[in-house]
Chain A
Amino acid sequence: DQQVKQNSPSLSVQEGRISILNCDYTNSMFDYFLWYKKYPAEGPTFLISISSIKDKNEDGRFTVFLNKSAKHLSLHIVPSQPGDSAVYFCAASAQGYSGAGSYQLTFGKGTKLSVIP
């Protein structure tokens, strides 16, 4: 049972426009969400995160929105640049709950973003 879902395997966007990547989750215990970016032949790199006590977090061109009632989050990239072309993974954890599993991340399958010059 997939607890973190990224239903769009790929997305193409023109350079300069907004990219919106979506993520849905089913586990109501999740209280911390992260986005990672992955280039081919490299490991994922941390991009931005949000705690469940917030509904928005912004870092430069990247903004993450969280809708807890809908169990949905999205990553907005504006303006999109060709260097943003990568696979983006949504991840979640239940860090508010103590125990050995509190730092584990559950990942989605990723969305491949292509920014066209």
Chain B
Amino acid sequence: EADIYQTPRYLVIGTGKKITLECSQTMGHDKMYWYQQDPGMELHLIHYSYGVNSTEKGDLSSESTVSRIRTEHFPLTLESARPSHTSQYLCASSGNRGLGSPLHFGNGTRLTVT
């Protein structure tokens, strides 16, 4: 059973709209991440956070932004959606045990921008 929740699961939206993808975790993890994945491709890190008020960009450039005001919540926002943003977005978190803390993923949001 997932302890990290993403909403919505699926989203179809028109070009130019502002969207926010929600991610919440109940495990008290300090570290949270957003990955982007296209079908048949690897997951790419686009944002990460090591705690409240800490956010960094990942190795894949993204026009999205994130915020971390509360430990359990790590929303991702696209100010103006474009068809190139069509992808699956996966949120993850990890604990504080260093090497013993694998990522826990949510079930993802599949975004389609028309």
Measured in the bound complex, the distance between the Cα atoms of B42 and A109 in whole Å is 4
Chain B contact patch, size range: 20 to 34
Q: Which residue of A lies closest to B94 (CB)?
A: A103
Interface string of A17-46 (1 = CB under 8 A from B): 000000000000000101010000111111
Q: A43-B108, A46-B102 are in contact. Are A109 and B45 (CB under 8 A)?
A: no
Which B residues, 26 to 73, have Cβ-Cβ distances below 8 Å to chain A? 31, 33, 35, 40-45, 48, 50, 56, 58-59
Given the complex, which residues of A lie within 8 Å of B45, measured CB to CB? 104-105
Given the complex, which residues of B lie within 8 Å of A109, measured CB to CB? 40-42
Given the complex, which residues of A lie within 8 Å of B41, measured CB to CB? 109
B2 interface residue (CB < 8 Å to A): yes
Given the complex, which residues of A lie within 8 Å of B59, measured CB to CB? 104
Interface string of A81-107 (1 = CB under 8 A from B): 000000001000001000010011111
Please give the residue numbers on chain B whose beta carbons come within 8 Å of chain A beta carbons, in ascending order: 2, 4, 6, 9, 31, 33, 35, 40-45, 48, 50, 56, 58-59, 90, 92, 94, 98-99, 101-108
